[in-house]
């Protein structure tokens, strides 16, 4: 129980600090920032919406909402997939890439200050192994319906 409550408290506090930094620096939520990060790392700065939803661990309807908000801000565009006209791609715009470039240093600073720099190398390696073990188990487990 101690591990669970410590994890929850630390996670929520870190998430709150990250959200505050992203909102102040760019008017973004953490979910929106992660979408920009995933698109910036993708070939051609574009991903199918279904793949993007899987990578950012969000429902398709949740992703559609967030991409719509980013599209309104001019940071992301949607395109029809050339190889499958039913497929939709999310594409990072030049403005989105510039926003990410401006915002990333503040984001990294918050994460370093409140997590990375507080832990020694062994603690970081242990945490990484533990989180990857948890992720693998959850990805293997049947997930509850995402949209209802």
Label each residue of 37-99 as H, E or C: HHHHHCHHHEEEHHHHHHHHCCCHHHHHHHHHHHHHCCCEEEEECCCCCCCEEEEECHHHHHH
Res. 59 pLDDT band, cuts 50 70 90: confident
Binning pLDDT at 50, 70 and 90, where does residue 143 land?
low
Cα distances from 109 to residues 10, 21, 31, 34, 105, in angstroms, run: 17, 10, 18, 16, 6
Q: Which residue has the tokens 């939520």?
A: 29
What would be the CATH architecture of the domain defined by 2-140? Orthogonal Bundle (1.10)
Q: Where are the domains of the chain?
A: 2-140
Q: What pLDDT does residue 40 have?
A: 97
Quick check: 87 and 80 in contact, CB under 8 A?
Answer: yes
C-beta of residue 67 within 8 angstroms of C-beta of residue 35? yes
Q: For residue 116, give the DSSP letter.
A: G
Phi/psi for 78 (5° steps) reads -115, 140
Taking the C-alpha atoms of residue 108 and residue 18, their distance in angstroms, rounded to an integer, is 9
pLDDT tens per residue across span 34-44: 999 999 999 99
* pLDDT top residue among 41 and 143: 41
Measured over all CA atoms, what is the biggest interatomic distance in the chain, rounded to whole angstroms? 51
pLDDT digits (tens, 9 = 90+) for 84-133: 777 899 999 999 999 999 999 999 999 999 999 999 999 999 999 999 99
148 has a pLDDT exceeding 50: no
C-beta of residue 21 within 8 angstroms of C-beta of residue 46? no
Of residues 62 and 94, more confidently modeled: 94
Could you tell me the pLDDT band of residue 146, with boundaries at 50, 70 and 90? Answer: low
Q: Give me the pLDDT at residue 41, please.
A: 96
């Amino acid at each position: 129980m101690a591990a669970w409550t410590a994890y929850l408290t630390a996670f929520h506090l870190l998430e709150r600090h990250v959200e505050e930094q992203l909102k102040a620096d760019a008017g973004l939520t953490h979910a929106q920032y992660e979408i920009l990060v995933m698109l910036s790392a993708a070939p051609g700065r574009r991903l199918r919406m279904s793949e993007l939803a899987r990578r950012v661990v969000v429902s398709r309807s949740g992703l559609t909402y967030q991409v719509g908000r980013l599209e309104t801000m001019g940071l992301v565009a949607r395109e029809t997939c050339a190889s499958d006209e039913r497929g939709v791609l999310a594409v990072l715009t030049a403005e989105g890439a510039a926003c990410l470039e401006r915002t990333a240093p503040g984001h990294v600073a918050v994460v370093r200050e409140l997590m990375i720099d507080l832990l020694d190398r062994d603690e970081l390696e242990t945490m990484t192994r533990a989180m990857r073990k948890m992720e693998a188990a959850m990805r293997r487990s049947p997930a509850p319906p995402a949209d209802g």
